[in-house]
Amino acid sequence: MHKLILSIVAKLYANRVLAITPTKRFTYGDIFSSAYELAQSLKQLKTDTVALNTYNSPNHLIGKIAIILSQKIGLYLHPALGQDKIMAILEQTHTPWVIEETDRGLRLKRYLQSTSTYIKKIPSKTFSLNLSSGTTGLLPKIILHSKLSWWISTWRIIRYQKRLDNKPVRLLCLPPLATAGSITFLPILLSGGAYVFTGHQDNPSNELQHLQELIYELQPTQVYITPRQLNKALNQGWWSKPGSVKRVSCGTEPLLLPTVKKVLDDLGVELSTGYGMVECLPPLSSMVIPPGKDVPEGILSSAGKILPGVGMKLIEGRLAISSSTTMLGYLSNSHIDKGDRYRRFFITQDYGRIKDNYVYIFGRDVDKLGRTTFSRNVEEFILKNISNVIDVAVVKKDEKEIILALETKQDIVLKQKLIEQILRQFPELKDKRIALKITNIPLKFTGKLDRKTILEDSTSDK
């Protein structure tokens, strides 16, 4: 089925742009031609699993499509993991062959000569192996996704995508969201949409400066973008005219949505947001807000309504999910661990609450600053009370110190006064040291907050 769908897509959109870099455009025909050639080589391998280790680039699309066409199980890595972690993951998953990126394109290289160390065979119904983006341990958790869950997830996204102005939805993903396992991959191909690859691993926001030009060139009806990047593009004036865009879809960083919505209202663009996670495959909750619609602030700070077919409740303060798209489990050396579960519910790492069927996400353990205070609470307070702040990130360095990074329109911020305001609002932080700095909020290649850089910069400042 996967192979048939991709074959139809390749013919239907052969001359349409699929991948964009700062220097080149690649059509569906270009990408699929290279993918078909690579798939022929993959079919000759006597292994069920093949790893793809690329940056976010057109080569990533080529490798991923080739894996699906060859009906192999894809293990999706990223060079930022480092050689030691990559080797450990290859050994753990019994994956000898890796598609990797070189200056001349993709090459297929054998990393493991012996594969006898693997204990339990990966189930045949597995579609892909993805890494948990929320893992903070030394080695990321490896998640098994079934073929069925991928198709259910894809169908849900397509089903809830209403036509915009009686036109089929055409997606622009800028930049590729989240990890290589993003469920947006198949819907974007099916819509004839395009991916934007920044080519700037150190500064992934650079290509945002050309967002307006891309909208005029590609005529998308919907744009996928992370909340922080959307906020940056709108505040910097990199997107000031709607063009063909009728909807913007972004993930769960609700603290920025009130500010973003005001600008989107002026553009006449509706806002779509939701909650998903790689262990369950998105979407789990969603909401669409038409331009100009007055939405209570409480709802606007939510991650949307729980979607049909998804069960959700709280277990010890954390969100627990029951869904047909939940992972098969985490892969370990000796067995498949189904994760932290209570009966038929998978317990996530996200603290939150549920009210009137709307989901509210507070954060994870790394975001917990006190018994009841999360980073998001402080960030929301600052955005509401300090007028010239564009973006803010609150990062816990350790149990005694908090880093407060502000991106402002002006450099004028009364630091001591702001800290006093925070301590009055959140008294349980009075025993913490708060280090405040004015900076551009750093983002990772995924478009999400780069906590590591903020912590490293705070150390180098001392």
**Is 307 in the same domain as 384?**
no
- Give the pLDDT means over successive 10-residue stretches in the chain (462 positions): 80 91 89 95 92 87 92 88 89 90 90 61 82 62 85 73 68 59 71 74 58 87 82 80 88 65 86 83 83 80 87 94 88 77 88 92 87 87 80 88 83 74 91 85 72 75 49
**Is 429 in the same domain as 380?**
yes
Give the separation between CA 379 and CA 422, rounded to whole angstroms.
10
Residue 135 domain-assigned (yes or no):
no
CATH code of the domain covering residue 43: 3.40.50.980
Model pLDDT, residue 251: 72
**Is 233 in the same domain as 327?**
yes
368: tokens are 């917990």
Residue 257 domain-assigned (yes or no):
yes
Residue 132 domain-assigned (yes or no):
no
**Is 113 in the same domain as 158?**
no
337: tokens are 């661990």
Residue 172's SS3 state is strand
Give the separation between CA 54 and CA 61, rounded to whole angstroms.
9
Model pLDDT, residue 199: 55
**Is 220 in the same domain as 263?**
yes
**Is 329 in the same domain as 290?**
yes
Residue 125 domain-assigned (yes or no):
no
Q: Which of 363, 391, 413 is the last residue of a domain?
A: 363
**Is 398 in the same domain as 343?**
no
In the chain, how many domains are there? 3
Model pLDDT, residue 151: 80
**Which range marks the domain in which residue 201 is found?**
153-363
Rg of the Cα trace of the chain?
Answer: 22
**Is 226 in the same domain as 178?**
yes
**Is 291 in the same domain as 391?**
no
**Is 286 in the same domain as 348?**
yes
Residue 260 domain-assigned (yes or no):
yes
358: tokens are 């709307």
Residue 144 domain-assigned (yes or no):
no
